[in-house]
Structure 1
Amino acid sequence: MAASPAAAVEAPTKQDLEAMSAFRYQLRRFLRFSEEVTHTAGITPLQYQLMLHVQGIEGRDWATVGELAERLQAAPHGTVALVSRCESAGLVARKTSRSDRRQVEVHLTSRGERLLLRLATLHKSEMDAFGWAFKGGLEGA
């Protein structure tokens, strides 16, 4: 959790403000790009992010709703609704876990996987173009 503004001891320098501004600008450009390409593909940016996070869990190709909620920084009930919309669109499927019947796994469908790979290729290319703005940020994410 981030420290409260009152807990900060040193005010940011002009150089810090310039760096923060440049980063926020590049981040907003990237998010706008993402909004445009996902809408062009017929899905929302959140649907893309959900599919990305389903495949982005280390060591497996599925995720739980709780994991997705954490990655999306969303409430679990909102994430359930998003999974339902993605399921209706044929992008994901829910499966009961074989190891724990109480747990539901969210998997990509073949359609969802094809769409994710197509959009992720575009996003990767755009991230590479921003290079410096994302350096170091992806390793620990």
Structure 2
Amino acid sequence: MTEPPNISADDRVGRVAEFRIALQRFERTSDQVVRRSGLTPRQHLLLLALEGRHAGSASIGTLSRELLLAQSTVTELADRAQAEGLVERVVARDDARVVLVRTTREGARRLERALAALDRERDRLGLAIGDLDAAFPRVSGPASPSRARGRASDR
């Protein structure tokens, strides 16, 4: 990758550091905001996965893969969320052997409250991402498979 014009190596390292700090700040602030919205950070992730990726319902196995958590951990998380009225379990329409976790109105309400409260933090993180992108411009969009192979072979 060629050196971007007008950005020194020190500035690039500084921008990476600023991004990493912004990411950590976002995570910490998110956890605090989410808790004030009546959710734990993991319940927030569960509801984000359900609402943002699966139109409100998904199996424990699917959630486990996406959240990078063991199935037993997701089951316990769903049990606690269900006890709080955030999710419910329903039988899949197309396969009665499959039980889905589905967001309730209360879960959707708390998630929406958390999302609204996080607007400013998402904006800050977006600015940090923009600064990082400016320090590392792409020559032709996202990394192509040949560029990715080249990086892997450098190891």
Instruction: Bin the TM-score by the shorter chain.
Output: 0.7 to 0.9
Structure 1: gaps of 5 or more residues: 1-12
SS at match of 2:93: coil
Equivalences, count: 124
2:41 pairs, out of 40, 45, 52, with 45
Residue 27 of structure 1 pairs with residue 13 of structure 2: no
Does the CA-based 8 Å contact 1:127-1:134 persist in structure 2? Answer: no
TM-score by structure 1 length?
0.77
1:120 pairs, out of 115, 121, 130, with 115
| Superposed displacement of residue 52, structure 1 | 1.0
Higher RCO (Cα < 8 Å, 6 or more apart): 2
Classify 1:66/1:14 alpha carbon distance in 2 versus 1 (closer, same or farther; 3 Å): farther
- Residue 153 of structure 2: aligned partner: none
Counterpart amino acid of residue 24 in structure 2:
R
Does the CA-based 8 Å contact 1:50-1:68 persist in structure 2? Answer: yes
1:67 pairs, out of 56, 62, 71, with 62
Equivalent-residue separation in structure 2 for 1:124 and 1:71 (angstroms): 24
The 5 A counterparts of 1:1-141 are 14-57=10-53, 60-134=55-129
Identity over aligned pairs, percent: 32
Larger Rg: 2
SS at match of 1:98: coil
After TM superposition, the runs of 4+ consecutive aligned structure 1 residues lying more than 4 A away are: 13-16
SS at match of 2:116: helix
Aligned CA-pair RMSD: 2.1
Does the CA-based 8 Å contact 2:64-2:70 persist in structure 1? Answer: yes
Equivalent-residue separation in structure 2 for 1:84 and 1:20 (angstroms): 39
| Superposed displacement of residue 14, structure 1 | 4.7
| Superposed displacement of residue 122, structure 1 | 1.8
